[in-house]
Structure 1
Amino acid sequence: MPIERDRERAKRRYAKRQKNLAERAARKRRNQQVIGAVLAVVLVAGGVVLLTQLLPDDSSSSAAGATSSPTANASGSTAPTKTPKSYPSAPAKSLAENATWNATVKTSAGDITMELYGDKAPQTVASFIFLSKDGFYDDTSCHRLTTSGIYVLQCGDPTGTGSGGPGYQYGIENAPKDGKYPAGTLAMARGDDPNTNGSQFFMVYKDTDLPTTTGGYSIFGKVTNGLDVLQTVAAAGTADGSADGAPKTPVTIESITVEKK
């Protein structure tokens, strides 16, 4: 019957439309899932990139050929670099333990004074004292500024590349279990391995949370004066305008003096 045929055709058309709509909805859900997954990966990867750069591999010796003259770094700014001294082993903890210390970091952007926790992080402070007294940090740049999610100025690599170190490594001390690093915190940078602390350190200019999954990062002191210096450098941003790179305002460590309190 014509009416029956029309009904059947209408049913088929309806079923086809429903199928198309279902397929379209399924594609949309898949696309949303893919986009969500990609965003998650990007966010995680972004955090990993920030952190792995914040936490350098001090075992790298690629800086051996660095020159002693200013050179353009990856973000286009110029900063002093030099071939770092290399030491066979870290100094003994006894150099710093059971005491607190005062440090004055003279930089091209202004002086920064610090209190060092030899009682809480003796190996880290012993290393910092030893390297400071030996002139390891003199005429070196603070090569990295982060301005999004992580708020730190990173220094302590004579090569200015983020991969230089003193030739020795040691483990984590005094890392906060909650991953919180308040403004003014002085902490060590490292690689993915918890035992890759060396010479690079960072100063926190704004409250920052860092992951604790690999043990956190050694807090070995705090800024007691000069936080405004860090914040002024941070306010100027990076040389290339990104959230992570060399500071637009170059910061050179001229010298560090350390005295027991």
Structure 2
Amino acid sequence: MAVNSKREYERRRYEKWQARQEAARTRRQRQRVIAASVVGALVIGTGVVAAVALNQDDGAPQAAPTASDVAEPTPAPSLPARTGNGGVVPDPAAAEGRTWTGTLTTSVGVVEVELDGAAAPQAVANFVTLAREGYFDSTLCHRLVPSGIFVLQCGDPTATGTGGPGYSWGPVENAPADDVYPAGTLAMARVGNDAESMGSQFFLVYEDSTIPSDTAGGYTVFGRITSGLDVVQAIADAGTQPGTERPVQDVIIEGVEIQ
């Protein structure tokens, strides 16, 4: 690299680092004004699970940036929308009121799940129907929340956080009365304050999380992880891409098998 080009690169990197420091100071000041810690609401934008984030900036001095710190975020993929079950809400009777088992094979590991068709018949019928027709195949888990609450969000074929199967359904089923979602929980995403807005997006809880209810109630719990929680935890430990909520390493659902 030429001397002038190298100096220009270092100058830009330092300016970005300064901007990050200033943003951190602004966040700390805002936190002191509104509360010691702030929890947002889990919402989904027209079909997405939006998870809560706690700002845990404690004011500790930050190290000077490295090249990876100032790297530009990877652009979100442009993927086509998909219609599930012909755009019709699956019949909850399809859950048969029983326990189902399933395997989510992802690009980073296998996650095995158990689905409770008795406690959440509509959610389980929906998930089983979509899984069996390959709706989730080759989709990207587009959102990771690594603080405040601890969830990995999947199920949007467009990877934008706004995609769905062409229908929505409700009401909320089997939400915890105490707003506590233990590690390993599988739950449905929905629009904030709208109990009839669930579609295909779901989230996996990898650490115990308290997610406040809103006017629509809590979030539909339809199953649990029985094996592979460590896979999800490893995704979370790697963090997110700079400036985004996308996991550092793309997490692609390669297929879902249900029995």
TM-score range (shorter-chain normalised) is 0.7 to 0.9
For the 8 Å contact 2:31–2:37, the answer to whether it is kept is no
Within a 5 Å distance, the mapping from 1:14-53 to structure 2 comes to: 39-40=33-34, 47-48=40-41, 51-52=42-43
Match of 1:152 in 2: 151
Secondary structure at 2:186 match in 1: strand
Residues 1:213 and 2:214 are matched in the alignment: yes
Q: Unaligned regions of 5+ residues in structure 2, if any?
A: 1-28, 49-71
State the distance in 1 between where 2:76 and 2:87 align: 30
Q: Which amino acid aligns with 2:219?
A: Y
State the distance in 2 between where 1:97 and 1:40 align: 48
Q: Which amino acid aligns with 2:190?
A: R
More helix by share: 1
Match of 2:119 in 1: 120
Match of 1:92 in 2: 91
State the distance in 2 between where 1:197 and 1:42 align: 32
Match of 1:103 in 2: 102
For the 8 Å contact 1:102–1:114, the answer to whether it is kept is yes
State the distance in 2 between where 1:184 and 1:79 align: 28
Over the matched positions of the two proteins, sequence identity in percent amounts to 46
Deviations 1:176-235 (A, max 9, x none): 111000000000011021111100000000000001233110000000000000000000
1:248 Cα offset (Å) = 0.3
Alignment TM-score, normalising by the size of structure 1: 0.72
Secondary structure at 1:47 match in 2: coil
Size of the alignment, in residue pairs? Answer: 204
1:156 Cα offset (Å) = 0.1
1:82 Cα offset (Å) = 3.0
* RMSD of aligned residue pairs (Cα, Å): 2.3
State the distance in 2 between where 1:200 and 1:239 align: 21
Q: Unaligned regions of 5+ residues in structure 1, if any?
A: 1-34, 60-73
1:137 Cα offset (Å) = 0.4
Q: Which amino acid aligns with 1:204?
A: V
Deviations 1:105-161 (A, max 9, x none): 000010100000001000000000010011110000000000110100000000000
1:39 Cα offset (Å) = 3.2
Query: Following superposition, which runs of at least 4 residues in structure 1 exceed 3 angstroms of deviation?
Result: 35-39, 41-44, 77-80
- Rg larger for: 1
1:250 Cα offset (Å) = 1.0
- Cα distance, 1:90–1:82 mapped onto 2, change above 3 Å: same
The partner residue of 1:57 within 43, 46, 66 is 46
State the distance in 1 between where 2:75 and 2:30 align: 36
State the distance in 1 between where 2:36 and 2:182 align: 26
State the distance in 2 between where 1:90 and 1:40 align: 41
- Cα distance, 1:80–1:182 mapped onto 2, change above 3 Å: farther
- Cα distance, 1:36–1:256 mapped onto 2, change above 3 Å: closer
For the 8 Å contact 1:82–1:140, the answer to whether it is kept is no
Secondary structure at 2:149 match in 1: coil
Q: Which amino acid aligns with 1:181?
A: Y
State the distance in 1 between where 2:95 and 2:78 align: 29
For the 8 Å contact 2:100–2:117, the answer to whether it is kept is yes
Q: Which amino acid aligns with 1:147?
A: P
Residues 1:81 and 2:79 are matched in the alignment: yes
Alignment TM-score, normalising by the size of structure 2: 0.73
